[in-house]
Structure formats: C-alpha cells, structure tokens
Amino acid sequence: MTEELTYEQVAELEEAIKLKNKAKKIMNDFYENVKLEIKGYKGEGRFSFWHDQHNDIYIDLKDDKFYFRCRFLHESYDVEITFNGIYQALKNKNRGVEHLESHIRG
C-alpha cells in the first residue's frame, strides 16, 4: 500500500524542485563563467573578486571545494560551491547566493 501525498507535500516538493533547478543553473554558470586570475590570487587559496576599504568578495578553495565568501562591514555570507551547498543556501535564503549570481553572470 502506498501513501498519497498531501497538497502541502506536493507544494513543498514543487518548491524544492525549483530550488534544485536554480542551484543547477548557478553551479553551471559558475563553471562556465568564472575565471580565477593569477593577479586576483591573495594566497592561502583565496581569489579576490572585488574589494574596497571595508568590504571583500572572494572565492576560497578549501579541502578541494570552492566557497564564495562575502565579507562586508556589517554582514558576512558564505556559499559552498557545490550543487548541495547552493541548494541549501537557496533553501535557507542565504543572501550570499544573490551576490554569487551577480558575480558569475556571463
């Protein structure tokens, strides 16, 4: 005997699929559009994207995984650049994903 999904469960599943598809697009855009230049290398696996006197946006390579990091004067965001990391960030409404998207557009 199989259980039938409730309306709410189907709605949650649909939302999860939307987030999964968005995570896949972001991940693909990252691989297709991000070029880590030697001049942006700051040591210890860190590649600077943008910075000013108080803020820094960079890609960090740690334990064979890339991380997108935003260090702003009053807030910080981290997004693991994996399908699951981006999916979880989207699910948790991590604002770092918005910054990631704006920096990886082709």
- Give the Cα separation of 15 and 2 in Å (integer): 23
- Give the Cα separation of 69 and 48 in Å (integer): 10
pLDDT of 3 reads 84
Beta sheet of 46-51, edge-to-edge order: 41-43, 46-51, 56-62, 65-71, 76-80
Joined tokens for residue 101: 């998207």
Q: Where are the domains of the chain?
A: 7-104
**Residue 74 class from Cβ within 10 Å (0-12 exposed, 13-18 middle, 19+ buried)?**
exposed
pTM for this model (two decimals) = 0.89
Q: How confident is the model at residue 77 (pLDDT cuts 50, 70, 90)?
A: very high
Q: Which amino acid is at 50?
A: W
The 10s digit of each residue's pLDDT in 1-43 is 578 999 999 999 999 999 999 999 999 999 999 999 899 999 9
Q: Is 62 a residue whose pLDDT tops 60?
A: yes
**Mean pLDDT computed over every residue of the chain:** 94
DSSP secondary structure code for residue 71 in this structure: E
